[in-house]
Amino acid sequence: MTHRGRFRPGDAVIVKADDPPTHHRTPWYVKGRTGCVDAVYDPWPNPEHMAYGRYSEPKIPVYRVEFDQRDLWGDYSGLTKDRLVVDIFEHWLEPADRSER
């Protein structure tokens, strides 16, 4: 893992709430939600482009983003420290105000 890209570990981010009609790998249950960057991976080919044969597109940084389970599931009754971790491509993320976490 490296620290390249727009965001750094500890940054609060919001996952875009987009719902494109084309192939994408961002889970619906994190769209529009605020999480915290846990790690930054090396850039990787965008699977949204590769699904349509576009293999020469630039690679995109990927982030491991951590979410509080209670923020994702309204009826979550597990431990308050429970987190969900999702790998998300940079173009799906926007900066979030730290006070929102």
pTM of the model: 0.82
Per-residue pLDDT of the chain in tens (101 residues, 90 and over written 9): 555 689 999 999 999 998 877 777 889 999 999 999 999 998 877 777 777 777 787 889 999 999 999 999 989 998 889 999 999 999 999 999 754 44
Instruction: Domains for the chain: give ranges and CATH numbers.
Output: 12-100 (2.30.30.50)
List the one residue out of 101, 22, 99 whose CA is nearest residue 65: 101
